[in-house]
Amino acid sequence: MSVHRIVVVGGGAGGLELVTRLGDKYGRGKDVQITLVDRSLSHIWKPLLHEVAAGVMDTATHQLSYVAQANWHHFEFAAGEMIGLDREARTVRLAAVPAAADEGEGDLLPERTLPYDTLVLAIGSTTNFFGVPGAQENTIALDTVEQAERFRRRLMAACVRAQNAAQAPALDVAPAGPPAVAGDGDGAAAGQAAGQAVEARPASSASSVQTGNAHHPKVNLVIVGAGATGVELSAELRNTAEVLRSYGLKLDPRKDVGITIIESSPRILKALPERVSGAVAGLLGKLDVDILCGDSVAEVRKNEVATTSGKVLPADITVWSAGITAPAVLGTLGLAVNRLNQIEVLPTLQSKTDPDIFAFGDCASCEWSEHGFVPPRAQAAHQQASFLVKAIDARLKGRALPTFTYRDFGSLVSLGRFSAVGNLMGGLIGGSMFIEGLFARVMYTSLYRMHVAALHGVWRMLLDTVANRLRRSTVPRVKLH
Ligand SMILES: Cc1cc2nc3c(=O)[nH]c(=O)nc-3n(C[C@H](O)[C@H](O)[C@H](O)COP(=O)(O)OP(=O)(O)OC[C@H]3O[C@@H](n4cnc5c(N)ncnc54)[C@H](O)[C@@H]3O)c2cc1C
């Protein structure tokens, strides 16, 4: 019998769990060859990226080398970005891997093709800028470790510059505050617009957007999009500002570091129940995070964000977390895709166009009974990876494929060390249950622990947890360099 070649493209939340389990199951035998393709050399669980951006998560500790994981779990790793597909010849085309500046001349690996018998696409999603002028050029997205690290470095630099400017003699520095917020023209209109936009702000908070407070923050951070990513990032940034103060930064972490979230919907976390959204808005208010709902971004310029209602917010750094789309390459493969470029799959997770190709996670569009489509979440990618282990086993044995059913266990939103809020779903608790505080925080961190357990087993996950706890007591609470 000839070897069956399984190629999984994308070693993210779903893909790496899948190849690890397939490798454990078949990798030591001679009949099945498993290869993981990724454009990066190491994996980090994407839901950690906002913590990387805020500096509270050190990537060196949490990144996992694909080569090492392949060695431990009996699969091959091929580095390279998938740039094409020949469905007749059943080959995937990988771009050349360029060498870094200090790695000598020429590419590290040339452009090449990789043959497959079963192909699984799990290349995730990328930021959707919705064609807003200046958004791509003047904002930072949180799709990759490099982007998250770039944000962190810019945040540190902005704080240092602001501190330096505040300490410099008055004549040496540019006029103190950032540009005033342009409202709707006159005071009454501006006040009205602000009233509509603000949710749950305590009267004492320092806001340049809603309250017209005379104090102008020295560092202005604007987050576009109040989904889980934007909301979680805002809380982590407030924590970072407070930690930096404790390490000697001479800025008031509340008044001098302004954090504003802009959201086009009438409320934050629109995909989650109103109770969760309301509770999170209340907590963000207490953290002096300004929330501007019901307004959209019209244009992003170098140091400011203009909204459709006419406001102009000063922005030293703008993060774009307003939506996702699947990578453009998926639209070029000759497979059926939806308007977001996600591959349309059957309940077996096979492409509707080609039964030898499976797709899952954020890059796939999979119907979910009466709810529409399976949401782009790590939870879904994890469930689909487990399902595909069974489906691929059935395919190898020539049996009919099972069908995937998504089970929603609820949603949790972490506000870092301040709190967590969410709803748990499930038959055992008889529907939906609102949770908040320590219990929600424990449930939230257990999602990552489950991912680590899927990659390394339960014992190593426990060791990893203890090791990280110990390490935390010997390093700064925020990555400073
Ligand atoms: C900041 C943030 C916070 C989040 N928080 C949560 C949360 O709390 N809970 C939750 O359920 N979900 C959360 N999500 C969403 C979650 O991260 C995704 O739904 C999940 O990672 C999707 O898994 P995936 O395997 O489909 O893709 P990914 O995990 O994105 O992995 C895709 C992989 O494909 C690789 N790749 C991409 N293109 C190519 C190519 N052309 N060739 C080769 N390799 C390629 C990438 O390098 C990556 O390794 C969050 C997302 C972000 C950004």
Summarised one tens digit per residue, pLDDT across range 112-143 is 999 999 999 999 999 999 999 999 999 999 99
What average pLDDT does the chain have?
Answer: 88
373 contact partners, CB below 8 Å, separation of at least 6: 365, 366, 367
Contacts of 439 (CB under 8 A, 6+ apart): none
Q: Is the CB of 378 under 6 A from ligand 1?
A: yes
Contacts of 73 (CB under 8 A, 6+ apart): 19, 20, 23, 24, 27
393-402 pLDDT per residue, tens: 999 999 999 9
Measured CA to CA, the distance from residue 269 to residue 412 in angstroms comes to 11
Per-residue confidence at 192, pLDDT binned at 50, 70, 90?
Answer: very low
Please determine, for residue 159, whether its predicted confidence score (pLDDT) is greater than 60.
Answer: yes
Please state, in angstroms and rounded to a whole number, the distance separating the CA atoms of residues 141 and 74.
34
Q: Which atom of ligand 1 is nearest to the CA of 124?
A: 27
Q: What is the pLDDT of residue 474?
A: 83
Rg of the chain, C-alpha, whole Å: 24
pLDDT for the residue numbered 428 = 60
Please give the pLDDT value at position 181: 36
Q: Is 377 in the pocket of ligand 1 (CB under 6 A)?
A: yes
Cβ neighbours around 107 below 10 Å, total = 12
Mean pLDDT of 297-313: 96
Is 129 within 8 Å of 320 (Cβ atoms)? yes
Q: What is the crossing angle of helices 15-26 and 66-73, to 10°? A: 30
Q: What is the pTM of this model?
A: 0.89
What mean pLDDT comes out for the span 334-344? 97
How many angstroms separate the alpha carbon of residue 205 from the centre of ligand 1? Answer: 35
For the ranges 211-220, 275-284, 298-307, 321-330, which has the lowest average pLDDT?
211-220
All domains of the chain, ordered by start, with CATH? 4-125+326-407 (3.50.50.60), 139-164+217-323 (3.50.50.60)
> What tokens appear for 243 in the block?
């930690």
- Nearest atom within ligand 1 for CA of residue 80: 43
Instruction: For residue 293, report the distance from its CA to the centre of ligand 1, in Å.
Output: 26
Give the integer Cα–Cα distance in Å for 402 and 309: 50
Rounded average pLDDT over 150-161: 93
State whether the beta carbon of 51 lies less than 6 angstroms from ligand 1. no
Which single residue is written with the structure tokens 């990759």? 144
Contacts of 408 by beta carbon, 8 Å cutoff, 6+ apart? 371, 379, 425
CA dist., res. 68 & res. 430, Å (int): 43
Residue 209 has pLDDT above 60, yes or no: no
Q: Which of 328, 324, 388 is nearest to 362 (CA)?
A: 324
Please say whether the beta carbons of 402 and 408 come within 8 A: no
With tokens 């999603």, the residue in question is 125
Tokens (6 digits) for 443: 């449930």
Cα–Cα distance for residue pair 452/466, rounded to 1 Å = 13
Q: How far is the CA of 46 from the centre of ligand 1 (A)?
A: 5
Q: Determine the residue type at 273.
A: P
Instruction: Return the axis-axis angle of helices 438-456 and 15-26, rounded to nearest 10°.
Output: 40
Whether the CB of 408 sits within 6 Å of ligand 1: no
pLDDT of residue 215: 66
pLDDT at residue 188 in the model? 33
Q: Are 476 and 247 in contact (CB under 8 A)?
A: yes
- Which atom of ligand 1 approaches the CA of 143 most closely? 53
CA atoms within 13 A on the CB side of 150: 13
Pocket mutation for ligand 1, best pick of 46, 379, 415 (most atoms within 8 Å of C-beta)? 46
pLDDT at 88 over 90: yes
230 in ligand 1 pocket by Cβ < 6 Å?
Answer: no
Q: Is the CB of 225 under 6 A from ligand 1?
A: no
Q: Which residues pair with 38 in a beta bridge?
A: 79
| Average pLDDT rounded to a whole number, residues 234-248 | 90
For residues 326 and 342, what is the distance between their CA atoms, to the nearest angstrom?
A: 5
